[in-house]
């Protein structure tokens, strides 16, 4: 199973490896699809500084308040679209 590597520096810079897709983002919430499930990053003034440069790496800057995995391993975008057409 692929693993994620998360590196948080001073709650101001978060680097995440092995990200499959950016589901959604704004300056308070970023949602990512990873092999370990969906990952939600909450904070203030969040900005995706770099995306998918090496090994599916995403670099986020801003003030990070929380990092939460969900057990759901399905892409959120796919779920929303499938619900619209039911």
Give 16-57 pLDDT, tens digit per residue.
999 999 999 999 999 999 999 999 999 999 999 999 877 899
- What's 42's domain CATH number? 2.60.40.2000
Name the token pair of 2.
Answer: 């692929």
For the entire predicted model, the pTM comes to 0.80
Does residue 52 or residue 75 have the better pLDDT? Answer: 52
Does residue 77 or residue 70 have the better pLDDT? Answer: 70
Q: Which domain holds residue 27?
A: 6-84
**What gap in Å lies between CA 34 and CA 63, rounded to an integer?**
22
DSSP 8-state class, residue 76: H
pLDDT over 90 at 66, yes or no = yes
pLDDT over 60 at 81, yes or no = no
Tell me which long-range contacts 71-75 makes (C-beta under 8 A, separation of at least 24). Answer: 71/37, 72/37, 72/38, 73/35, 73/36, 73/37, 73/38, 75/21, 75/23, 75/33
Q: Is residue 42 part of a domain?
A: yes
Q: Is residue 1 part of a domain?
A: no
Of the chain, the percentage scoring pLDDT greater than 70 comes to 81
């Amino acid at each position: 199973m692929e693993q994620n590597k998360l590196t948080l520096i001073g709650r101001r810079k978060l680097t995440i490896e092995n990200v499959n897709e950016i589901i959604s983002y704004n300056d308070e919430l970023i949602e990512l699809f990873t092999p370990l499930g969906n990952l939600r990053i909450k904070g203030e003034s969040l900005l995706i500084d770099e995306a998918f440069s090496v090994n599916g790496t995403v670099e986020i800057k801003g003030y990070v308040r929380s990092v939460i995995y969900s057990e759901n391993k399905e892409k959120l975008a796919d779920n929303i679209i499938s619900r619209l057409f039911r």
